[in-house]
Amino acid sequence: MGDDVVDYYRKITLGGTGMIITGDFPVTPDGPIRTDTSFTDVAVSGLERIAEVVHRTDGRCMVVAQLNTGYIGKVPSQRQSPFSKNPTPALSEKEIKVIIECFAQGVIKAKSLGYDGVQFHAAHGTLLCDFLSPYANKRQDDYGGTVRKRVNIIREIVTLARQDAGDFPILIKANCTDYIEGGIDADSFPELASEIENAGIDAIEVSGGRYDCLVRTEEELGFRPVPGAESHTRINSVDKQSYFYPYTENLHLSIPIILVGGNKDVEHLEKLLKNGRVDFMAMCRPLICEPDLPNRWLLGQGKSISQCISCNSCIYDMIMNFSNKHARITRCLYKEDTEEYKKAQKWLSSWVENHKV
């Protein structure tokens, strides 16, 4: 937890964001799940500094810790990804129980560190996303087979976490579409979302996509297949904005709905909010580009559209940083570094060809 990370959260808070959902915190270490201990504590020292700086900077701003697993190399059902040579093996029930406990401990820890809530990352092909998806989850035990059983892992985490954390807010980010045949889609999402609500979740953020879908063509997908599938590029007209909004049409939920993905123009967003189908608008890339965007909009300064060109050069910057011991805060290369921006665009365009097996 470096000072630059803490400063970054301070900057976002000062920019007028109402609630910050962090990038994901792993509740398990990378590597195989250990079933010989009931819980592996992988706390990053200083994690409480993010909650502290947000609240100190603006008492009205909330901060929610997003929880995910580390890279554990297992999935709900054995699966051959288009991007890996060997199939990824399935989790045993015993390993699933450890994961449930690790998430529950993550919730309790986030509460004790001063966060206002947690969000389970169950979108974009994470482990929890795989459990929810009929494409990735073919199990026939308590954790698969029906929509209700695919949601059981969430239900069990929530139940266990609430024994200690009480009514501490637990949000989820889930896919409304996997963009893959046999996966979550517009028809099946409403039932899944209702089951998620029944599992005791307090708010749902609607997202979509997973890496596996990137082997499909642009014509099939309706967007350019570059990393990542949840962050569409070239959003250069209003009809390309807020691209998961249509998937919220048939939701019947009493919990708040947060919409993410291509939210870029405040005038358009206000229209969507007035329709009453979604409650909150989330942004990622526009805030990497302009951390003070919410305040700029509030003050009516400049254009109603974000300066973010949805080029995903920030994804390149983040990925290049993964193995860097002295990683920087993810940047908008389009604004900050023309040479790196050019490299990013080349890397993005060739990513699928270079990684497909």
Ligand X SMILES: Cc1cc2nc3c(=O)[nH]c(=O)nc-3n(C[C@H](O)[C@H](O)[C@H](O)COP(=O)(O)O)c2cc1C
Segment near ligand X (CB under 6 A); pick from 39-47, 181-189, 248-256, 260-268: 260-268
Please select the residue that binds ligand X; options are 70, 225, 227, 262, rule is CB under 6 A.
262
Spell 80-114 as b/e; 16+ CB within 10 A means b.
ebeeeeeebebbeeebbbbbbbbbbbbbbbbbebb
Judged by beta carbon, residue 12 or residue 318, the one nearer ligand X is 318
d(CA 37, CA 22): 28
Please select the residue that binds ligand X; options are 67, 136, 201, 283, rule is CB under 6 A.
283
d(CA 18, CA 23): 16
Least spacing, CB of residue 348 vs ligand X, in Å: 11
Judged by beta carbon, residue 226 or residue 283, the one nearer ligand X is 283
300 with 307: CB under 8 angstroms?
no
CA distance readout (Å), 5 to 47, 124, 327: 10, 24, 10
Judged by beta carbon, residue 117 or residue 262, the one nearer ligand X is 262
- Residue 318 near ligand X by CB under 6 A: yes
Segment near ligand X (CB under 6 A); pick from 34-42, 132-140, 191-199, 258-266: 258-266
- Residue 109 near ligand X by CB under 6 A: no
Helix axes 189-198, 147-165, angle to 10 degrees: 30
DSSP letters for 72-140: -S-BSS-B--TT-SSPBPBPPHHHHHHHHHHHHHHHHHHHHTT-SEEEEEESBT-HHHHHH-TTT----
- Residue 87 near ligand X by CB under 6 A: no
Q: Which residue is it, tokens 């290049």?
A: 320
Q: Which two tokens stand for residue 289?
A: 């580009």
Least spacing, CB of residue 9 vs ligand X, in Å: 14
Instruction: Name residues contacting ligand X, limited to 125-184 (CB under 6 A).
Output: 173
Judged by beta carbon, residue 27 or residue 123, the one nearer ligand X is 123
- Residue 121 near ligand X by CB under 6 A: yes
Least spacing, CB of residue 16 vs ligand X, in Å: 16
- Residue 315 near ligand X by CB under 6 A: yes
Q: Which residues contact 299 (CB under 8 A, 6 or more apart)?
A: none
- Residue 260 near ligand X by CB under 6 A: yes
CA distance readout (Å), 89 to 80, 94, 213: 9, 14, 20
- Residue 18 near ligand X by CB under 6 A: no
- Residue 330 near ligand X by CB under 6 A: yes
Instruction: Name residues contacting ligand X, limited to 206-235 (CB under 6 A).
Output: 207, 230-231
Q: Which residues contact 267 (CB under 8 A, 6 or more apart)?
A: 304
64 with 25: CB under 8 angstroms?
no
- Residue 302 near ligand X by CB under 6 A: no
Please select the residue that binds ligand X; options are 13, 17, 28, 66, rule is CB under 6 A.
66
Segment near ligand X (CB under 6 A); pick from 29-37, 130-138, 154-162, 314-322: 314-322
Segment near ligand X (CB under 6 A); pick from 177-185, 193-201, 261-269, 340-348: 261-269
Helix axes 147-165, 93-112, angle to 10 degrees: 40
Helix axes 338-355, 313-321, angle to 10 degrees: 80
Please select the residue that binds ligand X; options are 1, 2, 18, 23, rule is CB under 6 A.
23
- Residue 296 near ligand X by CB under 6 A: no
d(CA 128, CA 323): 24
- Residue 12 near ligand X by CB under 6 A: no
Least spacing, CB of residue 123 vs ligand X, in Å: 6
Residues at the interface with ligand X (CB under 6 A): 23-24, 66, 121, 123, 173, 207, 230-231, 260-263, 283-286, 314-315, 318, 330
